Homo-oligomer: A and B are copies of this chain.
């Protein structure tokens, strides 16, 4: 059934009758003829409906406002010599849901900040149509990728009594104990990894894809209080195989999404200040760069006068400015940094033989910075207990996790991909608030 503008534009037979529903994007013309552009959200492209004075009261049609829902019957015409390659000659039409005068999306462009105030209608602009269509496909392609590699999709819990990263950034549920709902202090999960590891022992290859919450009071372009995360975990994998998995996944997902959205990428490419498609293709056509943390430190310390944080030596955590310099000015492409000092990485990461670094990686991409963070997991239970104590995490709460190591866990590896950051990287938009339908950030919650 051809019922979307996306399919109609591609496949509809010339001179055939058609019924179509959608929303008015523009309405222009004169006393003899009117042209209404209609969009139905299946593509960023509109279809032109032509109304002539013989069949219609054009004075009436002139009153039809942008945003109104139309039902149109007409004849589909290929127009190879016109600006658009097809149009519909209307035979009858009905304004089935007229907008009132307050509909905020009109022909003139509105800036992104203003649109953030109206998340319930901003998707009716070309920019958000493009972003949200691409976002939907990115999500689907992530599922497709993991299915193609035989992964089990696991829903790890949102409510948890564990503090996964030991960072204390979980939102707490009010009165859970007082009301007798849950017997323990319950927070919203900051990661599904620990529960995911339990399932990797037994199912071998698993992934999660769900919302994650951080009560981090940072008001940046890259942080949200609620975001979606993809976390694969594979038993028997080492760091190298983990990075290869991340690389393979990104290529699969980005390549397929670009192929499915030529019109949306063309729109975003023309809109962007940099070469969006050229940069994505450069990633697709080149091998992923992998460098040691110690190499990154060398590169950064030789450019230390460029940074606010100038004291750059082995042992420091990389700040956003450092990460951005590496991808935006040195490598100009995605880069994986491996083997970080253990001091600022999570307790569960595999301690390398040097006893100083852990088998972790961060994958940085231009324009966004950290997109993926992952690691091989520590399998030695004594080392894990030491690290848990170092971070003041309750061993009792973590006992079930430690027990996995006694129950056939030979070590696994995995990573976390921030989905909104992937959307930012792929669409070229610069603020996380524009990558998710209804953003929730520090100090802001609308609708």
Which A residues are within 8 Å of any B CB, using their own CB? Answer: 3-4, 6-7, 21-24, 40-42, 67-69, 71, 96-100, 102-103, 119-121, 123-124, 129, 132-133, 136, 139-140, 143, 147, 150, 152-162, 171-176, 179-184, 186, 195, 198-199, 201-204, 210-211, 213, 215, 217, 225-226, 228, 235-236, 379, 400-401, 403-411, 436-438, 440, 442-445, 447
Residue pair A215, B41 in contact (C-beta under 8 Å): no
When distances are taken between beta carbons in the complex, the residues of chain B under 8 Å from A210 are 210-211
Chain B residue, CB-CB nearest to A436: B155
Give complex CA distance A97, B380 in Å: 11
| Distance in Å: Cβ of A12 to nearest Cβ of chain B | 15
Residue pair B157, A440 in contact (C-beta under 8 Å): yes
> What 6 additional pairs, Cβ within 8 angstroms, besides A123-B199, A157-B437, A210-B211?
A3-B150, A4-B150, A69-B410, A158-B211, A159-B226, A184-B445
| Distance in Å: Cβ of A168 to nearest Cβ of chain B | 13
When distances are taken between beta carbons in the complex, the residues of chain B under 8 Å from A96 are 236, 410
Residue pair A407, B147 in contact (C-beta under 8 Å): no
When distances are taken between beta carbons in the complex, the residues of chain B under 8 Å from A235 are 21, 69
Give complex CA distance A173, B187 in Å: 9
When distances are taken between beta carbons in the complex, the residues of chain B under 8 Å from A195 are 120, 437-438, 447
Nearest 8 pairs between A and B by C-beta? A41-B203, A97-B410, A174-B174, A120-B198, A172-B174, A157-B438, A136-B153, A96-B410
Residues A226 and B158 in contact in the complex (CB < 8 Å), given A153-B139, A199-B437:
yes
| Distance in Å: Cβ of A236 to nearest Cβ of chain B | 5
Residues A400 and B120 in contact in the complex (CB < 8 Å), given A41-B152, A225-B181, A445-B186:
yes
Partner pick for A204 among B7, B40, B139, CB 8 A cutoff: B40
When distances are taken between beta carbons in the complex, the residues of chain B under 8 Å from A123 are 198-199, 202-203
Residues A67 and B155 in contact in the complex (CB < 8 Å), given A120-B198, A186-B445, A198-B121:
no
| Distance in Å: Cβ of A136 to nearest Cβ of chain B | 4
Residue pair A204, B42 in contact (C-beta under 8 Å): yes
| Distance in Å: Cβ of A50 to nearest Cβ of chain B | 21
Which of A225, A235, A408, A410 has the most B CB atoms < 10 Å from its CB?
A408
| Distance in Å: Cβ of A59 to nearest Cβ of chain B | 21
| Distance in Å: Cβ of A6 to nearest Cβ of chain B | 8
Residue pair B172, A172 in contact (C-beta under 8 Å): no
| Distance in Å: Cβ of A426 to nearest Cβ of chain B | 15
When distances are taken between beta carbons in the complex, the residues of chain B under 8 Å from A67 are 407-408
Residue pair A154, B437 in contact (C-beta under 8 Å): yes
When distances are taken between beta carbons in the complex, the residues of chain B under 8 Å from A160 are 445, 447
Partner pick for A202 among B124, B153, B228, B409, CB 8 A cutoff: B124
Residue pair B175, A152 in contact (C-beta under 8 Å): no
> What are 20 residue pairs bridging A and B, where the CB atoms are less than 8 Å apart in the complex?
A21-B236, A23-B201, A23-B408, A24-B408, A97-B411, A100-B406, A103-B406, A123-B202, A132-B203, A155-B228, A156-B438, A157-B440, A159-B213, A171-B173, A180-B443, A182-B225, A182-B440, A182-B445, A195-B438, A400-B447
Give complex CA distance A21, B412 in Å: 13
| Distance in Å: Cβ of A370 to nearest Cβ of chain B | 21
Give complex CA distance A3, B235 in Å: 13
Give complex CA distance A256, B436 in Å: 31
Chain B residue, CB-CB nearest to A200: B41
Give complex CA distance A42, B202 in Å: 9
Residue pair A408, B97 in contact (C-beta under 8 Å): yes
When distances are taken between beta carbons in the complex, the residues of chain B under 8 Å from A176 are 171
When distances are taken between beta carbons in the complex, the residues of chain B under 8 Å from A143 are 140, 143
When distances are taken between beta carbons in the complex, the residues of chain B under 8 Å from A186 are 445
Give complex CA distance A436, B210 in Å: 14
When distances are taken between beta carbons in the complex, the residues of chain B under 8 Å from A162 are 447
Which of A68, A202, A405 has the most B CB atoms < 10 Å from its CB?
A202
